[in-house]
Structure 1
């Protein structure tokens, strides 16, 4: 049984080496981005968020990371750590009321958490 409530995967972050090339590809699929900065380019499709971040910001992660929307980000993060996950990014504010955190599972896959307060 889950210790905290989740609304499922709401955000997928893709690490990219060439932001302009990636933006052109995603623009063809989703139109212009809703958020466009050097460190994050974001697209919204319904209640799904798709983000692009410079690959060096992902500390060696090779593929996209799914971010689970949770009701209590600190409790969810602690539950994952207690279950053996390795901390990648502690809880931090990334704009507005949004907080994110991430861990790696035993296989090295990144699992992200997000909370909009």
Structure 2
């Protein structure tokens, strides 16, 4: 298989300017790439890309609303991050769920109708540790 890792996840927003400002607050960073109708941030330990697209550029026939897959961003404290996202205007889609073996997930709807997943994943932290020799 030649898949080498997640490159970019894109969210759409009808009020693109408000969404750009919201995600700037959520991420704590300005987009590294910005043009009218598109903003992109590099986030986290592996610099994964989050793209925000003005909904007017959505392909015809593309479903709207919370559909499809959920991308979960690793966080160190699901409850604290959930509270922060709610304070910023998100709404709970799925409250924190203990998935067993140390995994905890939750999802919110951002103010623009996109699903945003957060997760504590113990394997993520193991991946960041230097390899054992």
Query: What TM-score, normalized by structure 2, do the two folds share?
Result: 0.43
**Structure with the greater alpha carbon radius of gyration:** 2
Higher relative contact order (CA 8 A, sep 6+): 1
Query: What TM-score, normalized by structure 1, do the two folds share?
Result: 0.48
